[in-house]
């Protein structure tokens, strides 16, 4: 683990030559990114089993958001790491990887916002509708 933290230098991210390098080195933190993106793909498969029989439709929407986030995030990340490993110019650059990590952070923030701010409101509305429908007369025509 000490090797991991010794490789991180946040001051380099502000340097233009470091970010826009056409053929960056293939060694470094990319093994850890490969593990991270591989875990995202595995979590995509695991997220299918959450909320299997949801009581409310909003849980299915949340489950699909999680699945899309993990699968797309992991696969695109693995492709970028593959470009880096094959030393394909520009597509394997640090700028593309930094951009993709920022997209994942933003997308994950939206999912967290949806889970804790939007979902409770929709669930309360659904519960109120169920409570209202409970007292409506039943249609028993044959």
Work out the angle between the directed axes of helices 57-85 and 30-47 (0-180°, nearest 10).
150
Q: Is residue 88 part of a domain?
A: yes
Burial 27-66 (b: 16+ CB within 10 A, else e): eeebeebbebbeebbebbeebeeebeeeebebbebbbebb
Domain that holds residue 117: 27-122
Sign of CA dihedral 86, 87, 88, 91: positive
Q: Is residue 62 part of a domain?
A: yes
- Number of domains composing the chain: 1
Question: What's the rounded Cα separation, in Å, for the pair 45 and 38?
Answer: 11
Q: What tens digit of pLDDT does each residue of 56-103 get?
A: 788 888 989 999 999 999 999 999 999 888 888 888 888 888 899 999
More confident residue, 14 or 35: 35
Q: Is residue 139 part of a domain?
A: no
Q: Is residue 138 part of a domain?
A: no
Residue 3 pLDDT > 80, yes or no?
A: no
Q: Is residue 83 part of a domain?
A: yes
Q: Is residue 61 part of a domain?
A: yes
């Amino acid at each position: 683990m000490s090797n991991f933290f010794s490789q991180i230098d946040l001051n380099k991210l502000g340097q233009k030559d470091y970010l826009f390098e056409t053929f960056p080195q293939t060694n470094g933190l990319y093994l850890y990114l490969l593990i991270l993106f591989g875990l995202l793909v595995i979590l995509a498969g695991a997220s299918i089993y959450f909320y299997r029989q949801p009581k409310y439709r909003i849980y299915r929407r949340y489950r699909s958001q999680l699945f899309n986030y993990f699968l797309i995030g992991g696969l695109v990340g693995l492709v970028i790491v593959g470009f880096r490993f094959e030393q394909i110019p520009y597509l394997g650059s640090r700028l593309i990887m930094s951009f993709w990590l920022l997209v994942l952070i933003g997308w994950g923030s939206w999912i967290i916002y949806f889970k804790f701010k939007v979902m409770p409101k929709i669930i309360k509305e659904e519960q109120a509708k169920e409570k209202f429908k409970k007292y409506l007369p039943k249609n028993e025509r044959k």
